[in-house]
A = this chain, B = another copy of it.
């Protein structure tokens, strides 16, 4: 039976470290980390996420500012708000909750955030720093950074000699995750919808990372015995066994059967999910430390 990687517990240790760093920064330099979140429109799921981020930021001892804009906000107005926050010395992290309403140019907004305040790690400069192996001066995209923390729980910092397979090649996750695994010395393969035989590649993977958004796609016979599985998918499926019209969350991995083969596996929910918000807090305190000219913690 495999080890279950408890993302909630690991995230809690990250948050503890963020709180300590935040308190240190305030004590030593009189600086309180500031996180500004911009949300446009009234999508309930987005508001739920933003609410959770704000509460966590306060729990970490940050100044938390939320800018809620109406759904018909124009591009110029949104860009002006970003510019104001870029110049605000009390704000160290700026997060624009995605997706934005369809009439807005998300990419232009994302790229307008100063790279040093881009706590989501979406700016091209931060992508370039990951791509060139500069993991110390930029800000890492939260979900891949959090997934790497979970990988380190099992394998430590040096993945030399291990084969990693990342299924999915998104800019948000798959590509930065592959580059982070590579920087940690893993031998990395990136598979995706155009890959011929993902199962065969998976069977060679000591670390298997799934991020495709297809419920329970990874089956037990894809898994190398003893492998570490990081399941980044969060899919809602029907759960008639819970009652009519009920649903439940599952990952991209068929958990029960794969857990029987793997050496370690992240559950869904409670695996990668809690790490994302924890790394957002980590990025914010890192950005605040750098802005104050003080050494930033590493996570």
Give chain A's interface residues, CB within 8 Å of chain B: 123-134, 160-163, 169, 171, 175-176, 178-179, 182, 185, 187-192, 194-196, 201
Q: Which of A128, A175, A179 has the most CB of B within 10 A?
A: A128
For A160, the chain B residues whose CB sits under 8 A away are: 194
Complex: A161 Cα to B187 Cα, angstroms = 20
**Whose C-beta in chain B lies nearest to the C-beta of A123?**
B128
For A129, the chain B residues whose CB sits under 8 A away are: 124, 128
Write 26 A-B pairs (CB below 8 A) sorted by A numbering. Answer: A123-B128, A124-B125, A124-B128, A124-B129, A124-B132, A126-B128, A128-B128, A128-B131, A130-B131, A131-B171, A132-B171, A133-B171, A161-B194, A161-B195, A162-B196, A178-B190, A185-B192, A185-B194, A187-B189, A187-B190, A187-B191, A187-B195, A187-B196, A187-B201, A188-B189, A188-B190
Interface of A is mostly: mixed
Among B128, B161, B189, B201, the residue within 8 A (CB) of A127 is B128
Complex: A134 Cα to B195 Cα, angstroms = 21
For A187, the chain B residues whose CB sits under 8 A away are: 189-192, 194-196, 201
- 8 pairs of A and B residues whose beta carbons are closest in the complex: A128-B128, A124-B128, A127-B128, A131-B131, A160-B194, A189-B189, A187-B195, A185-B194
Complex: A100 Cα to B94 Cα, angstroms = 38
For A130, the chain B residues whose CB sits under 8 A away are: 131
Complex: A161 Cα to B197 Cα, angstroms = 8
Complex: A223 Cα to B161 Cα, angstroms = 21
For A162, the chain B residues whose CB sits under 8 A away are: 196
Q: Is the CB of A196 within 8 A of B163?
A: yes
Complex: A194 Cα to B160 Cα, angstroms = 5
Complex: A185 Cα to B191 Cα, angstroms = 9
Complex: A195 Cα to B185 Cα, angstroms = 8
For A182, the chain B residues whose CB sits under 8 A away are: 169, 175, 190, 192
Complex: A194 Cα to B155 Cα, angstroms = 15
Complex: A179 Cα to B166 Cα, angstroms = 14
For A185, the chain B residues whose CB sits under 8 A away are: 192, 194
A240–chain B nearest beta-carbon distance, Å? 37
**Whose C-beta in chain B lies nearest to the C-beta of A195?**
B187
